[in-house]
Amino acid sequence: MIIRRFSFSNPNESEGMLTRSTDIEAKWQERWYAERINEADRDEREKFMIIFAYPGVTGYLHVGHMRGFSYVDDIARYKRMQGYNVLFPVGTHATGNGPISLAKRVASGDEDMIDYLRRNGCPEDVIPELTDPLTVVEFFNKVYVEQYWRRFGFLADWRRFACTTHPQYGKFIQWQFRKLMDAGLLIQKPYYSPACIAHGPVAIDASETDIACGGCAETTEYTLMKFRCGELTLLAATLRPETVFGQTNFWVNPEVEYVKVVCGDEIWVMSRPCFEKMLYQKDRLKEVGTMWGTELIGSTCTAPMTGREIVCLPASFCDPNVGTGLVVSVPSDAPDDWVALRMLQEDEAACLRYGLDWDMVKAIAPIAIIETKGWGPMPAVEIVERMGITRSGDPKLVEAKKIVYKEGFHAGRMNQDCGPYSGLPVDKAKEAMKQDMLRANQADLFYDLSETVICRCGEPVVIKKVDDQWFIDYANPMVTELTKRHAEGMRILPTEYQTNVQGVLDWFRERACVRQGNWLGTRFPFDEKWIIEAISDSTLYPIFYLISPYVNDGSVRPDQMGTEFFDYVLLGRGDLDHVAKRSGVARDVLERMRADVDYWYPLDVNLGGKEHMTVHFPAFLMNHVAILPPEQWPRGIFVNWYVMSKAGKISKSKGGAQPIPGAAELYGVDSMRLYYAHIASPFADVEWDEEVLENYVAKMDRIMRTVEELSMMEESEAIEPIDVWLLARMNSRMASIVKGMEQLDLRNLAGEAYFEIPNDLKWYLRRGGSNGAVVGRALDMWVRAMAPITPHTAEEMWEHLGKDGLVANARFPCADAAEMSQAAELAEDYVRKLLEDVNEIVKVTKIAPKRVLVYTAPEWKEKVLQKAVALFRDNELKVPTLTKLVMQDEDIKSHGKEASDLARKMAEDLTRRSAEEVERMAVRFDELEYLRQAEGFLARELQCEVGFFDAADPEKVDPQGKSRFAQPRRPAIYLE
């Protein structure tokens, strides 16, 4: 249970800041939206356009989704504070069957679904309305905008909201597809797709939106090898066509009734389940009879490619539901075959029963075909031996098969008995032999699913041939090349993906872009029976946000949005008057739209989850390259990783996710935004942990209190060293933040602003800092630095500090060179280090000091250091060189051995350090003076008297001669 504890000020006092995060959020959101600071229009400033990949309308989102979304608002707010005119539009992706299946489940009274809706706060009276897919879309559009994005205070331009099922979006997509057609990127060819017999194409994926079971199934391509057997053609389905040279016999299940099917001038033999599946994949198949497996046993057939005559033998392991129900035997490399063959060879009775010549059966020997490192010539024989498998049906065979297949396929080579394929790696040989057999009409292809898949409607899912499937030709070499070259110059985060995307673009192939069936989406403009598929209609859309406000406010109607309209507005093509006349859109509206596109595009950042890396992002890039001119190609991609629950990915089914509004209420929006920004690098998954959230709640609480307390500090005239330090520190923090943000490093911003700066301020106070003006300056910078990530809290504090206007509109603090001082920071580090050293000595010696004496290094030692640094800079620092050099100085030389020892030590020490560190060592400040000014502080901290001496001071108090250990930046210490 979280207790909101903003207890630092009395809520009844009108002067204090608001104490409840929900009050603060409501107050400032009202201000922002009333003043419309979220709305972005063209002006003189430099522009910055950022989006997150719009979410699919799949139901309620969870706290994990807010991670990426909030990054976009953080970045947008930072950029606007940097003076950019920032455009951050939002939308939703409703294409597909998410809304349809949700509506169906509601309509069917699915208890889980109703429960889920209730749990997420869906009003009772709305539930019955969610039986219509488009109502579902509109309902969730509202939920996303109001309960998620506005609730989190996003400065998104709501006027530009877009949804893929709105008619204007459809017009845009149709235009996009006409452009793809013009560019020659739409192609048509046959396609084998998973489909429900009743509903048409379905998606097979683990989320199982389309299907009832079988989410992990894959489409498997079998090579159907043709074995001539008299007038019949026996079909053996194999995944390993390269093993033809090792075939020794054919397997037939005597218990199975096979079907004879006419295909062209051949009569094919296969199992009935196979025939039924094949009907969806091949035309002109006709059943002409049946036969039992036993009828084939003993007859011979001719193997493809080798022309070898092999005999049909009985085998119980031939499953009519797998492949064709007929199997060709390669005992050298297939454990199943070897085991079955050996069983038969030992079973004279069986041979007799089937009328086989036992001697002939016994004479069959495996034929070695593949050489695999670490294996003998017959891997199947070997592994069966090793695993002690003796009979068909042994469960260990599955494992054996896996091992042999994996090893052979990836590490093996065809041996010298494989004709023209000898010496080829197995994976290459497989493809070559398959192609050769297909060309010679010795083989065909057959597709099947690796496991049973059932549609939501209860019908089985099959692989169905679609003759006229449309594809987007992402394999197009020209577009691929241009995209790859463009991507090299983009800002892509994480940087690993910048490299990786090159490979993804190479690998990206033709992609089916339309489908039939009951789907939400846009009609394919060239053939209305098709609906454009969900990924293909979400690639160019960022530019649509530049058009959407004009439709949303009624300046343009969807029916006015034809080819010429889009050509003019998006591409600047065509004559304005002509387009205005043809489309019926007002001339000035067209002009403004065109100017908007010119101004806002290209997109600066597209942020999306890691699931987009192999599909959405490459398609997004290639569509821009294919359709828009180069100056409008995207500039940046930001990939974010997930928030996981302990059980794995947060999901509806696995639970672990609480509704977003509930979490916002519980933890406060700003605490959550800070959590997302700070918990880990954006490029790593994090685990949702409520306790961790509570820590961020406490952190925000503490920060507000700190600001309130510090804001009450009195002004003062005197500027102490610690004041100089605080300003130097604040400025170097800002420098670090700004530098990090060049790479959109929000985590660095969060670390500096919410953790390091509070620590600096704490140190300032502990150190006795008390200058209200200096603190006021620090607070001013600090609150502005917090505005991007925790905007509500920042506004509240900004107001409390008596600042005019909104901090959201203020400039982000930049480091002021005049206030920066490396010496001031180093001097303070020096004091801190001294304190640590004294504590360490106390700890080790267990002395409770009555007095602490500190000795700074004498001037001659400083000279040695400076000479060493000079040599270091010239890359000439060596022990003898330094020794020789320092000994030329009479002052140093007078210290004799002590001087040469120091020179040696210093040379050794500095050569081991980095240039940066040496430069820090070289920075001089008056150590003794600085310590004296810190006397009060040190005495207070050490709870005893402290004294400081120059080690060269003849008047010094030095009972144990410790002063001789003093070195520059490292004073000697004596505890009394």
* Concatenated DSSP letters of 912-976: TS-HHHHHHHH----HHHHHHHTHHHHHHHHTSEEEEEETT-TT---TT-GGGG-BTTB-EEEE-
Piece in contact with RNA (CB under 7 A), picked from 449-457, 483-491, 575-583, 958-966: 958-966
Q: Distance between CA 1 and CA 6 in Å, rounded?
A: 16
Q: Do 510 and 473 meet the contact criterion of CB atoms below 8 Å apart?
A: yes
Q: What are φ and ψ of residue 179, in 5° steps?
A: -65, -40
Nearest distance in Å: CB 316, RNA: 29
Contact 946, 935 (CB under 8 A): yes
Q: Does 616 bind RNA (CB under 7 A)?
A: yes
User: Footprint of RNA on residues 95-114 (CB under 7 A)?
Assistant: 95-98
Query: In the bound complex, what is the minimum distance in angstroms from residue 581's beta carbon to RNA?
Result: 37
Among 78, 338, 474, 725, binds RNA (CB under 7 A): 474
Q: Smallest distance from the beta carbon of 363 to RNA, in angstroms? A: 36
State the minimum distance, in angstroms, from the CB of residue 602 to RNA.
22
**Residue 254 near residue 354 (C-beta atoms within 8 A):** yes
Binding RNA (rule: CB under 7 A), the pick from 891, 917, 926, 929 is: 917
CA dihedral 938, 940, 946, 952 (to 10 degrees): 10
Beta carbon of residue 849, minimum distance to RNA (angstroms, whole number): 8
Report 189-218 residues binding RNA (CB under 7 A): 191, 193-194, 201-205, 207, 209-210
Which two structure tokens, joined as six digits, stand for 666? Answer: 């519980």
Contacting RNA (CB under 7 A), which of 75, 535, 810, 864?
535
Question: Quick one: 444 or 533, whose CB is closer to RNA?
Answer: 533
State yes or no: residue 920 binds RNA (CB under 7 A). Answer: yes
User: Rounded to the nearest whole angstrom, what is the least distance from the CB of residue 666 to RNA in the complex?
Assistant: 18
Options 62, 93, 240, 767; binder of RNA; rule CB under 7 A: 93
Q: Which of 684, 719, 814, 957 binds RNA (CB under 7 A)?
A: 684
Q: Which of 733, 766, 728 is nearest to 749 (CA)?
A: 733
List, as own/partner pairs, every contact residues 884-893 make where C-beta atoms lie below 8 angstroms and the sequence separation is at least 24, other chains included: 889/860, 889/863, 891/860, 891/863, 892/860, 892/863, 892/864
From the CB of 932, what's the least distance to RNA, in Å? 17
Nearer Cβ to RNA, position 690 or 715? 690
Name the one range near RNA by CB under 7 A: 23-31, 121-129, 540-548, 968-976.
968-976
Least distance in angstroms from the C-beta of 958 to RNA? 11
**Residue 507 or 578 having the CB closest to RNA:** 507
Residue 798's φ and ψ, nearest 5 degrees, are: -60, -45
Closest CB to RNA among residues 248, 538: 538
Backbone angles phi, psi at 507, to 5 degrees: -80, -20
Measured from the CB of residue 736, what is the shortest distance to RNA in angstroms? 11
Q: Which stretch binds RNA (CB under 7 A): 299-307, 485-493, 532-540, 576-584?
A: 532-540
The three-class DSSP label of residue 309 is strand
Q: Does 614 bind RNA (CB under 7 A)?
A: yes
Q: Is 503 in the site for RNA (CB under 7 A)?
A: yes
Q: How far apart are CA 370 and CA 414, in angstroms?
A: 5
Applying CB under 7 A, the site for RNA has a residue count of: 98
C-beta atoms surrounding 954 within 10 Å = 6
Nearer to RNA, 284 or 843 (CB): 843
Per rule CB under 7 A, is residue 691 in the interface with RNA?
A: yes
- Contacts with RNA, 5-34, as mask; x by CB under 7 A: --x---------------------------
Nearer to RNA, 80 or 699 (CB): 699
Q: In 846-887, which residue ranges form alpha helices assigned H by DSSP? A: 859-873, 879-887
Q: Is the dihedral of CA 855, 858, 862, 864 positive or negative?
A: negative
Bridging pattern class, strands 326-329 and 249-252? antiparallel
Q: Nearest approach, Cβ of 914 to RNA (angstroms)?
A: 4
Of 246, 323, 659, 751, the residue at the interface with RNA (CB under 7 A) is 751
Residue type, 931: L
Single out the segment in contact with RNA by CB under 7 A; choices: 727-735, 834-842, 865-873, 924-932: 834-842
**Cβ neighbours for 432, distance < 8 A, ≥ 6 positions apart:** 421, 424
Q: Residue 530 Cβ, how far from RNA at the closest point, in Å?
A: 10
Cα–Cα distances (Å) from 749 to 462, 685, 735, 911, in that order, read 53, 19, 10, 34
Q: Which is nearer to RNA, 705 or 863 (CB)?
A: 705
Spell out a b/e string for 664-673, using b for 16 or more CB atoms within 10 Å of the CB, else e.
bbbbbbbbbb
User: For residues 250 and 446, which CB has a smaller minimum distance to RNA in the complex?
Assistant: 446
The residue type at 532:
I
Structure tokens at 48: 């910055």
Of 253, 538, 563, 790, the one binding RNA (CB under 7 A) is 538
User: Applying CB under 7 A, which part among 90-98, 250-258, 894-902, 945-953 lies near RNA?
Assistant: 90-98
How many angstroms separate the Cα of 895 from the Cα of each of 232, 700, 880, 886?
A: 108, 57, 17, 11
Residues 633-662 that bind RNA (CB under 7 A): 648-649
Which residue number, 334 or 356, has a Cβ lying nearer to RNA?
334
Query: Based on CB atoms, which residue is closest to RNA, 207 or 290?
Result: 207
> Which residue matches tokens 């402290």?
946
Out of 512, 879, 939, 952, the residue judged to bind RNA by CB under 7 A: 512
Q: Give the N- to C-terminal CA distance of the chain in Å, as an integer.
A: 52
Asked if 457 interacts with RNA (CB under 7 A), we say: no
Binding to RNA by residue 441, rule CB under 7 A?
A: no
